[in-house]
C-alpha cells in the first residue's frame, strides 16, 4: 500500500488562506518558503503519520514565473484541494506508470527551498500538472536525505480520511492498481478531493 506524503490546498492569497485555516482548525499554520522555479510559496500543517497539508498560493513577488504554474494555482478562485502526493523510493518506475496514464505526468525535477531556519530542504519529485484545477492522479515525492517536513512541525491535527471523487472513476483503476494505491475513486459530479481532519476544533471536513 502506498502512503500519502502531502495534500495541496491551493488558496488565492497565502496570508489570508493561512488565517482562515487557523480559525477553522484551531491550530497554528507554519510558514514554509518560496518555490522560486515554480512561482509559488507555501505553508504547512502537520496531519500526522508523516503527512502534511500544503497551503499553496501564487507568489506574486516572483515576476520570473508566469502561468501556467503547477498544481492548478492559476485555475482556482477560492480555496480548494487540487493535488495529492505519494511517497516514493523508486521515482523512475513511478514516472513510467504515471506517463502511461497521461503524458504530462511523466517528467520529474529536483527541487529545493530555503526553510525559515535557513536550512535547505531538497527533494526529487514528479512534476504536478498545471491543469486541470483538480487532478486525482498523484504525483510522487522522494525526500532523499532531507528530514521530512512533518518532523519539525507542531503535532496538533490528524488526517482521518481522504476521499477522491470523479465523474468517471474507472479511468483511475489501472493507474492506482499499477502504483499499488489502495484508495478507490468514487462516483461524483466533479473531480474533488475531500479530507476529514481531527483537529483542536473537532472533526472538520475540507475540500
CA dist 110 and 124 (Å) reads 4
Tally of domains in the chain: 1
CA dist 187 and 28 (Å) reads 34
CATH (domain of 41): 3.10.180.10
The pLDDT confidence band at residue 141, using thresholds 50, 70 and 90, is very high
The pLDDT of residue 118: 72
Q: In which domain, by residue range, is 32 found?
A: 4-155
Whole-number percent of the chain with pLDDT over 90: 84
Cis peptide before 68, with omega less than 30 degrees from 0? yes
The pLDDT of residue 111: 78
Say if 133 falls within a structural domain.
yes
Task: Please check whether residue 138 is in contact with residue 172, taking contact to mean a CB–CB distance below 8 angstroms.
Answer: no
Task: Please check whether residue 199 is in contact with residue 156, taking contact to mean a CB–CB distance below 8 angstroms.
Answer: yes
DSSP lists the bridge partners of residue 196 as: 161, 205
Confidence check: pLDDT of 4 > 80? yes
Q: Which cell numbers hold the place of 164? A: 477522491
Amino acid at each position: 500500500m502506498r502512503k500519502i506524503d502531502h495534500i495541496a490546498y491551493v488558496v488565492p492569497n497565502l496570508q489570508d488562506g493561512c488565517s482562515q485555516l487557523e480559525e477553522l482548525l484551531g491550530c497554528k499554520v507554519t510558514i514554509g518558503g518560496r518555490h522560486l522555479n515554480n512561482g509559488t510559496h507555501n505553508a504547512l500543517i502537520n496531519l500526522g503519520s508523516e503527512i502534511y497539508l500544503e497551503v499553496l498560493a501564487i507568489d506574486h513577488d516572483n515576476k520570473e514565473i508566469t502561468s501556467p504554474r503547477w498544481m492548478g494555482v492559476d485555475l482556482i478562485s477560492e480555496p480548494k484541494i487540487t493535488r495529492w502526493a505519494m511517497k516514493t523510493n523508486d521515482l523512475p518506475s513511478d514516472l513510467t506508470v504515471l506517463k502511461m496514464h497521461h503524458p504530462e505526468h511523466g517528467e520529474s525535477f529536483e527541487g529545493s527551498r530555503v526553510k525559515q531556519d535557513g536550512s535547505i530542504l531538497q527533494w526529487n519529485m514528479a512534476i504536478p500538472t498545471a491543469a486541470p484545477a483538480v487532478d486525482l492522479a498523484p504525483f510522487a515525492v522522494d525526500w532523499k536525505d532531507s528530514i521530512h517536513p512533518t518532523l519539525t512541525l507542531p503535532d496538533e491535527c490528524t488526517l482521518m480520511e481522504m476521499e477522491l471523487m470523479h465523474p468517471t472513476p474507472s479511468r483511475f483503476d489501472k493507474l492506482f492498481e499499477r502504483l499499488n494505491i489502495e484508495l478507490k475513486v468514487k462516483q461524483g459530479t466533479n473531480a474533488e478531493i475531500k479530507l476529514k481532519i481531527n483537529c483542536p476544533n473537532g472533526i472538520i471536513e475540507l475540500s
